[in-house]
Amino acid sequence: MAEPTGPGPGSEPSVRGGDSLAVRGVGSDWTSPEEVAARMVRSSDRPLSGTWRDRYVRYVRTGDVAGLVLAGAVATLVRYQRDGLVGVPEVDARYALISLGLVAVWALTLRWVGVYDRKVLVEGDEEYRLAARAAVLTFAVAASVATLVTFGLSRLYLAIFLGTGLLATLGTRKVLRTVLARRRLAGRSLNRVLVIGGARAARTMAASFAAHPAAGYHVQGVWWPTRSAHYGSVIEVAGNQVRSYGWDATLEEALEGVGADTVIVTDTELLGNEGLKALGWALQGSGIDLLLSPNVVDVAGPRVHVRAVANLPLLHLDEPQFAGAAQIGKVAFDKVVASVALLLASPLLLVTALAVRATSPGPVLYGSRRVGVGGREFRMLKFRTMVDGADGLVADLSHLDTGAGPLFKAKDDPRVTRVGRVLRRYSIDELPQLFNVLRGDMSLVGPRPPLPSEVAGWADGVERRLLVRQGMTGLWQVSGRSDLQWEDAVRLDLDYVENWSMTRDLQIIWRTVRAVLRSDGAY
């Protein structure tokens, strides 16, 4: 299908008549924001009902109440259980009433802190933080009331109730998120998106959504309300045929045509201030989410803040925090964890060394020259998983290369020994890198250690990977491992460098354990 002739995101804006910003299409009439705003009027403000989002909120609320009731029952029974867990408990009726009261207070606090708001449900960590905040507030209320009424509230009861209740509320969210993620991978429970902007922006956004299916967004249609834009019935976006609308369609027709429950504006210059206000008014009461895309990519949420300046909402982007990755906190964490891990894994290390030595001739350890922080080279240690002298056989096996850029990767590499395949599957071969961490050559989490031959061919800012210590694991490890293309691995490494945080390191370590146990992308 022919490319639309309407203006794209790169069209040049011009000013006509005072402060009125207009967007000019090639060979078309001017289209002012006021004219675009006229297309925003909806004939109906019917709220969406019965959507998956409404059902999800109900499931979360029901799970919270059920978990809190269970927490109250457990706390009461344990507090008054005779002879351990044997016999019939003697329950003070006052504690039964206190449990019901705390359940009610906790449930109301969860609602008050906004944990059921669609903006925080499902995505990111804000939902968990708000749930924990509600637990703290509930504890404060319980302690204050107990002090005021001079009732000797059992500390054991309160500790069990609050601990169990917090685990229940957090666990409910984790279980429901896991179920929802599986449904989204199957193409269900998706946010149906109408993009207001050009086809190029829609394609970029749809490609990003396709790369992260668990996020649950799917572009269903594109609306570009300018006189020059008459796209026809469909355009191709991320390999899918989606409906498109131009000046001949109103917002109402575009929304209903694709069944959208989410609107994302990718070109605010087209709408202008009047158009954005009209859009917000048109969607009021409809249950349709409105989002603005600032076209900022590969920037993590903690670096993005909304600031109100002169009555204007502006996005503030913090500077990259890669300098913090070299601070004493991260270094100390690396060395302590590496020391403990080596101590615990010492029996496994000994057995592995004996297995490598007994099954194939050659050294137990393999040292690979890698480039570390600041461009300094070091010798990265691994258990040998290939036949001795495997590096000299690469040229003869070039036809097996899976196309990982400058790296040689083969899914069924004949150089790998039988023991080596087991070690690679569970990443046991990488355990000696804990010694690299202790020596300061590497970190537990960081970019993938590159070969000197890779670094020699780097361009376009890829060298920023060397601003932090290279890691035993990283985003590349938990996002596909050997299945990743080289370009994707580079993008993930740069994302880590630009958006480093200690919390993110802990998340990556947890995801690494899961990826290793599942043997995802290991060969």
Is 169 within 8 Å of 110 (Cβ atoms)? yes
Q: Is 228 exposed, middle or buried (0-12, 13-18, 19+ CB in 10 A)?
A: buried
* Distance (Å, whole) CA 335 – CA 435: 9
CATH number of domain containing 230: 3.40.50
Has residue 124 got a pLDDT over 90? Answer: no
**In a domain? residue 6:** no
> How do residues 437-460 score in pLDDT, each as one tens digit?
999 999 999 998 988 888 887 777
pLDDT of residue 25 exceeding 50, the answer is no
Residue 3 has pLDDT above 50, yes or no: no
Cβ pair 472, 429 in contact under 8 A: no
For the cut 50, the answer to whether the pLDDT of residue 492 exceeds it is yes
Dihedral (C-alpha) 343, 349, 350, 353: value to the nearest 10 degrees? -160
Contact 486, 407 (CB under 8 A): yes
244 shares its domain with 283: yes
User: pLDDT of 354-405, one tens digit each?
Assistant: 999 999 898 999 998 999 988 899 999 999 988 887 767 666 666 666 555 5
- Same-domain pairing of 271 and 403: no
Same domain, 94 and 167: yes
pTM of this prediction exceeds 0.75: no
Kindly report, residue by residue over 452-485, the tens digit of the pLDDT. Answer: 888 887 777 778 888 888 999 988 878 765 566 6
Q: What is the pLDDT of residue 395?
A: 62
Closest CA to 165 of 110, 91, 119, 125: 110
Domain identity same for 208 and 150: no
**Are 438 and 487 within one domain?**
yes
User: Would residue 302 count as lying in a domain?
Assistant: no
Token representation of residue 56? 């999800």
Whether 350 maps to a domain, the answer reads yes
Q: Is position 307 within any domain?
A: no
- Per-residue H/E/C for 17-65: CCCCEEEECCCCCEECHHHHHHCCCCCCCCCCCCCHHHHHHHHHHHHHH
Element containing residue 314 per DSSP (H, E) = strand 312-317
In a domain, 40, yes or no: no
Q: Which residue has the higher pLDDT, 140 or 153?
A: 140
Residue 478 is predicted with a pLDDT of 80
Greatest mean pLDDT among 107-121, 186-200, 352-366: 352-366
Q: What pLDDT, on a 0 to 100 scale, did the predictor assign at position 18? A: 32
Residue 301 lies in a domain: no
Average pLDDT, the chain: 77
- The angle that helices 328-359 and 418-425 make with each other, rounded to 10 degrees, is 160
37: in domain: no
Domain end residue (candidates: 157, 185, 213): 185
Q: Which residue is associated with the tokens 């615990």?
A: 344
Q: How far apart are CA 199 and CA 202, in angstroms?
A: 5
Whether residue 13 contacts residue 264, with contact meaning beta carbons closer than 8 Å, is answered with no
pLDDT for 13-24, tens place per residue? Answer: 333 333 333 333
Find the mean pLDDT for residues 236-256. 78
User: Residue 47: pLDDT above 60?
Assistant: no
* pLDDT single digits (tens) 55-75: 898 999 999 999 999 998 888
Question: Which pLDDT tens digit goes with each residue over 141-161?
Answer: 887 877 776 566 677 888 889
Domain extent at residue 200:
13-31+190-295
User: What pLDDT, on a 0 to 100 scale, did the predictor assign at position 82?
Assistant: 45
Q: Which two tokens stand for residue 398?
A: 């070039």
Q: Are residues 437 and 464 in the same domain?
A: yes
* Residue 269 identity (one-letter amino acid): E
Query: Do 159 and 143 contact (CB within 8 A), yes or no?
Result: no
| One domain, residues 481 and 341 | yes
Is residue 362 located within the same domain as residue 291? no
Distance from C-alpha of 119 to C-alpha of 289, rounded to nearest angstrom: 9
- Alpha carbon 160 to its chain's center: 32
pLDDT (0 to 100) of residue 402: 58
- Write out 251-301 in H/E/C secondary structure: HHHHHHHHCCCEEEECCHHHHHHHHHHHHHHHHCCCCCEEEECCCCCCCCH
Residues 74 and 126 in one domain: yes
List alpha helices for 80-197, DSSP H.
93-112, 126-148, 155-185
**Helices (DSSP H) in 212-261: which residue ranges?**
251-258
- pLDDT confidence tier of residue 340, bands split at 50, 70 and 90: very high
Q: Are 243 and 223 in contact (CB under 8 A)?
A: no
Q: Between 90 and 385, whose confidence is greater?
A: 385
Are residue 205 and residue 181 in the same domain, yes or no? no
DSSP sequence for 188-210: -S-EEEEEES-HHHHHHHHHHHH
Total of domains in the chain: 3
Q: Where is the domain boundary, 185, 205, 230?
A: 185
Residue 422 tokens read as 């087991």
Same domain, 511 and 470: yes
> Contact at 8 Å (CB) between 278 and 37?
yes
Under 8 Å between Cβ of 219 and 205: yes
Same domain, 467 and 345: yes
Per the structure block, which two tokens stand in for 55?
């059902």
User: SS in 3 state form for 485-501?
Assistant: CHHHHHHHHHHHHHCCC
Question: And the tokens for 97?
Answer: 């009433």
In the block, tokens 């970019």 appear at 447
| pLDDT, greater one: 244 or 307 | 244
Query: What integer pLDDT is reported at residue 9 of this predicted model?
Result: 37
Measured between alpha carbons, how far is 434 from 192 in angstroms, rounded to an integer? 46
Name the residue with tokens 């933080």.
129
* pLDDT over 50 at 497, yes or no: yes
Determine, yes or no, domain membership for 194: yes
Residue pair 405/367 in contact (Cβ under 8 Å)? The answer is no
Confidence band, pLDDT 50/70/90 cuts, at residue 520: low
Regarding predicted confidence, which is higher, 102 or 229?
102
pLDDT of residue 69: 92
Name the domain boundary from 146, 162, 185.
185
* Rounded percentage of the chain residues whose pLDDT exceeds 70: 72
Q: For residue 16, what are the contacts with CB-CB under 8 A and spacing of at least 6?
A: 22, 30, 32
